[in-house]
């Protein structure tokens, strides 16, 4: 018969599962992010970014009142509001942990937030620009209002759209730079294949054409076809084979 685990083992297992659940994980959907006392972060920057995302989600503005190598305290910008999030460095686990968190806001919600800086707005637009290359500033304004309940400055949206397009098309330019290397490798492999190719008529000559092509991204209905790069290879007999 198997003996059941004692209470100490059960307590240890419970503590391990609780600690795992308190580890902050990036990638939470907007509106589903939560903070709590005891939550651990890998770095102070990670804690600050999580607080930024959380306050934008809650439509509140905060300020950092303490920020050094071992402590970081953020408070609501409204003096009468008791909201506060305080984290300090845990030297044993080499992480940052929330020690104080009062999530009770007494101030009203706002549709403008200085925490929505250029990098934050750009990060939210990259996926949209990938799917809709002609995504316009007016559409971005509507998107942020309906999805995030935010009213953003037109200039900040325009600048963030430029940054998002640089991220998207910068990636495509990097892929295009690799096309030449791929083409040279392809020509080399074709040459080796032709040398190994045996024909009944040793006088037959073959013509190989390697043509680079660029297919620009375009929209078809609700689908977005991404740009593609590559080579078109043709193999034919030399016309001189039939002259004589």
Residues 81-114 have pLDDT tens digits of 999 999 999 877 789 999 999 999 999 998 888 8
Residues 174-188 have a mean pLDDT of: 63
Q: Tell me the C-alpha distance between 229 and 174, whole Å.
A: 11
Q: Tell me the C-alpha distance between 110 and 24, whole Å.
A: 26
> Is residue 58 classed as helix, strand or coil in its secondary structure?
coil
pLDDT of residue 239: 54
- pLDDT above 70 for 143: yes
Q: How many CB atoms lie within 10 A of CB 164?
A: 22
pLDDT of residue 133: 87
Spatial contact of 210 and 186, defined as CB atoms under 8 Å apart: yes
Q: How many residues in total does the chain contain?
A: 244
Confidence of residue 51 (pLDDT cuts 50, 70, 90): very high
Spatial contact of 158 and 137, defined as CB atoms under 8 Å apart: yes
DSSP code, position 23? B
- pLDDT per position as a tens digit, 216-241: 554 444 444 444 555 555 656 555 55
> Is residue 69 classed as helix, strand or coil in its secondary structure?
coil
- pLDDT per position as a tens digit, 187-225: 666 655 554 544 444 555 555 555 555 555 544 444 444
Q: How many CB atoms lie within 10 A of CB 103?
A: 14
Separation of first and last alpha carbons in the chain: 95
What residue segments make up the domains of the chain, in order of their start?
A: 30-102, 118-179
pLDDT of residue 114: 87
Spatial contact of 131 and 114, defined as CB atoms under 8 Å apart: no
Confidence of residue 30 (pLDDT cuts 50, 70, 90): confident
């Amino acid at each position: 018969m198997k003996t059941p685990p004692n209470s100490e083992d059960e307590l240890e297992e419970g503590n391990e599962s609780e600690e795992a659940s308190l580890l902050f994980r990036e990638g939470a959907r907007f509106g589903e992010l939560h903070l709590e006392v005891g939550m651990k972060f890998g770095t102070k920057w990670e804690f600050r970014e999580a607080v930024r995302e959380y306050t934008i989600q809650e439509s509140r503005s905060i300020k950092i009142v303490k920020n050094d190598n071992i402590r970081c305290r953020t408070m609501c910008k409204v003096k009468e509001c008791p909201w506060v999030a305080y984290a300090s460095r845990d030297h044993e686990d080499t992480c940052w942990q929330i020690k104080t968190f009062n999530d009770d806001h007494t101030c009203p919600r706002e549709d403008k937030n200085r925490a929505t800086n250029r990098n934050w707005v750009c990060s939210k637009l990259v996926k949209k620009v990938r799917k809709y290359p002609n995504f316009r500033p007016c559409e971005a304004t509507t998107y942020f209002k309906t999805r995030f309940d935010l009213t953003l400055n037109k200039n900040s949206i325009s600048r963030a759209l430029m940054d998002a397009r640089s991220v998207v098309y910068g990636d495509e330019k990097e892929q295009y730079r690799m096309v030449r290397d791929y083409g040279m490798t392809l020509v080399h492999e074709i040459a080796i294949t032709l040398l190994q190719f045996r024909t009944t008529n040793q006088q037959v000559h073959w013509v190989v054409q390697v043509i680079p092509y660029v297919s620009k991204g375009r929209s078809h209905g609700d689908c977005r076809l991404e740009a593609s790069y590559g080579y078109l290879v043709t193999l034919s007999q030399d016309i001189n084979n039939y002259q004589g």
